Chains A and B, each alone.
Chain A
Amino acid sequence: MRTILYILQKEFRQIFREKAMLVIILVIPMVQLLILSFTATFEIKNTNIAILDHDHYVESRNLINKFSGSPFFTISSFYDSYDEGVEALKSGKTHQLLIIQPHFERDLQRDGTGKVMIITDAINGSAASIMSAYAHAILIDFNKQILVEHFPNLSLSDPIQITVSNWYNPRLDYITYMVPGILVLLVTIIGMFLSGMNVVKEKELGTIEQINVTPIIKYQFIIGKLLPFWIIAMFEFSFGLFLAHFVFGVPMLGSLALQLGTVSVYLVVVLSFGLFVSTLTDTMQQAMFISWFFMVIFILMSGLFTPIESMPDWAQTVNKINPISYFIQINRMIMLKGSVFSDFTRQFYSLVVYAALMLGLSVWRYRKVA
């Protein structure tokens, strides 16, 4: 037992001695959290829309005002010819084109129908559908307005009254959704890289040779390698939570103790994962690439950016071995829904099994004798 303390003392000494590393460990994830949380968003704001008004009458002016009055749209410019508009779309100066046909107002008055066309730059499919939907909503609104003006006596109430209520994130705030996930990402990076790198570094420098001839027992060595980074990552997670709550105003509906309890298990998974990689590799470069390989796959499939439910079946099966996806689910559930333990037992026990498996594998693979 005392031996472990000496090993821990040595590890902490080395970690805190390397000032550059300390900055990397503590400051960089926080900066990432601050930057990523504001930028990793699917919300579409400030859509540039260009107008081709071939009519120039009162109603077309009214329609344009509807767009310019929306916080979602910015009118980038007015064009007179179709070709100019297409050119603007091509060069990326505008995302959408609103074309109002000639005699728009006359047709509206005479025939009761006027024609407008909306062209959307759909390179980013999901963004395009959102932009189209917004434009559509404005047009529907405009339609109703015309109906009111032209047929004041018509009842406009729909037979079915729809009230949409968004639970757990009522303002559909993207930061609320992203921050718990990004927090998971940051402690994963710390856990997976630092523990593994540390062991491989000893291999590379040859210091492990000197350790291996000593009576240090395997489990002492492994605890000595895992515990310091476990503590650092726990600290970092807590600090990240603090930032999330007080800087981003992300709600923390669930129990803090429950959250810290699950992260402590999750960290054993990622730390042992890193350690396992280090037992298979001889240089930091190899370890780096292997960790990176798994990490990128795990992150992209984790449901951080795209919902797991919309992935193909095989990907959902692969995700059963993705620890990040389990923990992002748990973390979001606790923070945003205030879920209790019984709500995520399946995910939690998956993590427990995972932790036992990875730790077992790395203990088995780490050998003092070649």
Chain B
Amino acid sequence: MNHSAVILQNLSKSYKTVKALTEINVTINKGELFGFIGPDGAGKTTLFRILTTLLNPDTGTATIEGLNTVKDYKSIRNIVGYMPGRFSLYQDLTVEENLKFFASIYKTTIEENYHLISDIYKHIEPFKHRKAGKLSGGMKQKLALSCALIHKPEVLFLDEPTTGVDAVSRMEFWEMLKKLRSQGITILVSTPYMDEAALCDRVALMQNGHIMTIDTPDAIIGAFPVKIYTVRSNRMYHLLNELQTIPETEAVYRFGDVVHYLNHSETFDPMIITRHLDAIGHTEIVVKQAVPTIEDSFMLYMRKSDKFNIPGNDN
């Protein structure tokens, strides 16, 4: 038990008629970089708000470093760092003023914990007299992370930290998170970007308030049951529907600019796809076997269980 940083047991939360979270059970180890992966509306922000004591769950318990989020919320506020999805620092204060303010209300100073944030803060230090509202998206995110870290939290919650940040800054950001993890900080991060799952130690795939699976990214991909074929042709628009008519089709879905095709027959030959499409008039047909990704797993989990599906939104 004492190596678990965060334990969630049967956590549920509803907003009036909407069930935001249903029976969430997760145990996160100390020093782990744990990702909650799921589309908008999966319940990630609600979960993070419960964990950061901003919201009380309807049922179930959540403990952080052995402290209950409802009973011991005061102690928890001293040991967690939270970076909300929306930039929540004072836009009319400068970079330095923001950082100083948050340091002082945690009764610490920038100097005391400078080693923790130096890697991140040095990028924005040249602009420390600039108002936070005038920073670029990537710099705002670095400042927010610095402010969330300045009191040396034991557990760090990052709610969609990379949403709206350019690709280069995103990669930089994940590098920083890995460095922070090496300092022993437990990091919980939520993201709608499936490709970021591979950068976590373990991930939970979330959809409609449910956790569909929890495992390491490799294990999730490794457990992928069937082969995946990428398909493209000259009539991409019709491809999706026309592939469905192949016998024993498991799933067909768009994947970037191609279509992913899955068949649950063990003896499936990809030539069947080519022949099927050729027969109904497609040309420029390309069929290739693909390596499954987290996104493929996500789509498969969603199909497997109807309860994860939003009603009326069948793929």
Contacts and interface: CB of A to CB of B under 8 A. Distances in A.
Contacts of B93: 10, 13-14, 17
Interface stretch (B47-55, B176-184, B283-291): B47-55
Interface in A1-57: 2-3, 6-7, 10, 13-14, 17-18
Contacts of B84: 206, 209-210
B315 interface: no
B77 A215 contact: yes
Contact of B88 (A10, A209, A215, A216): A209
A6 B56 contact: no
B223 to A, nearest CB: 36
Given A10-B93, A17-B92, A213-B77, A206 B105 contact: no
B90 A14 contact: yes
A368 B54 contact: yes
Interface in B86-112: 86-93, 97, 101-102, 104-107
Interface string A340-358: 0000000000000000000
A215 B105 contact: yes
B82 A210 contact: yes
A77 to B, nearest CB: 61
Contacts of A209: 54, 82, 84, 86, 88
Nearest to B84: A209
Q: Is the interface of A mostly helix, strand, loop or mixed?
A: helix
B92 A213 contact: no
B80 interface: yes
A20 to B, nearest CB: 12
Contact of B105 (A7, A17, A205, A370): A7
Contacts, number: 69
A213 B54 contact: yes
A216 to B, nearest CB: 6
Contacts of B106: 214-215
Contacts of A6: 101, 104-105
A369 interface: yes
A212 interface: yes
A129 interface: no
B115 interface: no
Given A3-B104, A369-B56, A213 B90 contact: no
A168 B121 CA distance: 66
Interface string B40-77: 00000000010011111000000000000000011001
Q: How large is the interface on A (under 10, 10 to 19, 20 to 34, 35 or more residues)?
A: 20 to 34
A10 B54 CA distance: 23
B54 A370 contact: yes
A215 B74 contact: yes
B100 to A, nearest CB: 8
Interface string A357-370: 00000000000111
Nearest to A5: B104
A207 interface: yes
Contact of A13 (B87, B97, B105): B97
A210 B102 CA distance: 9
A7 B102 CA distance: 10
Interface string A173-217: 000000000000000000000000000000001110110111110
B102 A214 contact: yes
Which residue among B97, B104, B105 has the maximum number of chain A CB atoms within 10 Å of its CB? B105
Contacts of B213: none
B105 A3 contact: yes
A213 B86 contact: no
B113 interface: no
B161 to A, nearest CB: 14
Interface in B12-62: 49, 52-56
A368 B73 CA distance: 10
B234 interface: no
Contacts of B101: 6, 10
Which residue among A18, A209, A213, A214 has the maximum number of chain B CB atoms within 10 Å of its CB? A213
B54 A369 contact: yes
Nearest to B101: A10
A205 to B, nearest CB: 7
B131 to A, nearest CB: 8
A5 to B, nearest CB: 9
Given A3-B105, A206-B84, A215-B78, 4 more contacts: A13-B97, A213-B52, A368-B54, A369-B56
9 closest Cβ contacts across the A-B interface? A210-B88, A6-B104, A206-B88, A213-B82, A215-B77, A206-B86, A213-B52, A370-B55, A209-B88
Interface of B: 49, 52-56, 73-74, 77-78, 80, 82, 84, 86-93, 97, 101-102, 104-107, 147
Interface of A: 2-3, 6-7, 10, 13-14, 17-18, 205-207, 209-210, 212-216, 368-370
29 contacts: A2-B104, A3-B104, A3-B107, A6-B101, A6-B105, A7-B105, A10-B90, A10-B97, A13-B93, A13-B97, A14-B90, A14-B92, A14-B93, A17-B93, A206-B84, A206-B86, A209-B82, A210-B84, A213-B54, A213-B77, A213-B82, A214-B77, A214-B105, A215-B78, A215-B105, A368-B54, A369-B54, A369-B56, A370-B49
